[in-house]
Amino acid sequence: LVSTGALPEAARVDELVASAHERNRWVADGVVADYIPALAAADPEAFGVCVADVGGSVHAAGDVDVEFSIQSISKAFVYALVCEVVGHREALARVGVNNTGLSFNSVVAIELNDGHPMNPMVNAGAIATTGLVPGDDDADRWAFVADGLAAFAGRELRVDEEVYASEAATNERNQAIARLLASYGRLDADPGRTVDLYTRQCSVLVTTRDLAVMAATLADGGVNPVTGRRVVSAGVARDTLAVLASTGLYERSGEWLYEIGLPGKSGVSGGLVTVAPGKGGIATWSPPLDDAGNSVRGQRATAYLSRALGLNVFASA
């Protein structure tokens, strides 16, 4: 038997990934997001499941090579990249780590907390995080984000210009969030430019396979296990996973941790990444979402894999 690293042997992981896909492909619950007009065109049948091991092997089933916009999953990786620059304390003070208990784009959460963005996985905190991206001008700041996401994925990524334009034309709420943060002195960068950079980062195209490698990079202490390149420090990877555990599935983060027992991050285009520290990354993609904006099939497939692979971090046996 050939072990793939920290997970069971390769053939077993292949089998479980295929089974996670097969068991859930018929699930018809959930609704494709349409508040960003371009996302409404997503194929509700599309479904990919992928596991990347910290040893660098990748196990895939379904539509794992189809590109879709990364959306909120970018929040996890841009947060890690920004933490690398601003450090543990500054990230805690400026962005926070506590769950809001409210929806991902809540304005109320900001008002209830003296203007604090609360955590980097809701829109307010993600916009505050993107506001900390270093650079002399917009091009520099975009390069920081694009190069960083590419290093996590291990390949150059492009922007879906249609999704970007569609969200940029309809993101009044995110613009309001940025201005509200600025009004409380919680955003030093220009609100309009920060939201534009955030919208662009959300429009980056990835595949399920890319997301599995990105997740495995966080599992591997910040080193991309496929390219061997260090993307962030081990301390930053650890901090990012702690934040994902408490906030990665918005107001459903508690239920997620209870069922799956791993840090994860969802996005409205139907992607979902999950990290088993020291072991590997799981990624799924299926556009129909629950009412918190989390992929329905993705949550089910990930719960199955977490159990079958014995990944729950709270389990002692």
The token pair that represents 145 in the structure block: 């984000």
Judged by CB, which is closer to ligand GLN: 71, or 253? Answer: 71
Q: Report the helix count and the strand count for the chain, using DSSP H and E.
A: 13, 7
Q: Nearest 5°: phi and psi at 294?
A: -110, 140
How wide is the angle at C-alpha 279 spanned by C-alphas 276 and 285, nearest 5°? 55
250 is in an annotated binding site: yes
Instruction: Label residue 89 exposed, middle or buried (CB < 10 Å: 0-12, 13-18, 19+).
Output: exposed
Closest approach, Cβ 175 to ligand GLN, in A, equals 11
CA–CA gap between residue 235 and residue 148 (Å, rounded): 17
- Cβ-proximal residue to ligand GLN, closest one: 72
Q: H or E element: which one contains 275?
A: strand 271-276
Distant-in-sequence, close-in-space partners of 80: CB < 8 Å, separation ≥ 6: 152, 218, 222, 231, 232, 236, 237, 240
Closest approach, Cβ 187 to ligand GLN, in A, equals 15
Judged by CB, which is closer to ligand GLN: 167, or 220? Answer: 167
312 is in an annotated binding site: no
105 is in an annotated binding site: no
Judged by CB, which is closer to ligand GLN: 217, or 247? Answer: 247
167 is in an annotated binding site: yes
Cα maximum dimension of the chain: 60
Closest approach, Cβ 3 to ligand GLN, in A, equals 35
Judged by CB, which is closer to ligand GLN: 84, or 196? Answer: 196
CA–CA gap between residue 286 and residue 22 (Å, rounded): 13
Closest approach, Cβ 10 to ligand GLN, in A, equals 32
Instruction: Label residue 134 exposed, middle or buried (CB < 10 Å: 0-12, 13-18, 19+).
Output: exposed
Closest approach, Cβ 74 to ligand GLN, in A, equals 8
Judged by CB, which is closer to ligand GLN: 76, or 132? Answer: 76
Applying CB under 6 A, the residues found at the interface with ligand GLN are: 71-72, 104-105, 123, 167, 174, 202, 267-268, 293
> What is the Cα Rg of the chain in Å?
18
Terminal CA-CA length for the chain: 22
Closest approach, Cβ 188 to ligand GLN, in A, equals 20
95 is in an annotated binding site: no
Judged by CB, which is closer to ligand GLN: 15, or 290? Answer: 290
In the annotated binding site, the residues are 72, 123, 167, 174, 198, 250, 268
In the annotated binding site for substrate, the residues are 72, 123, 167, 174, 198, 250, 268
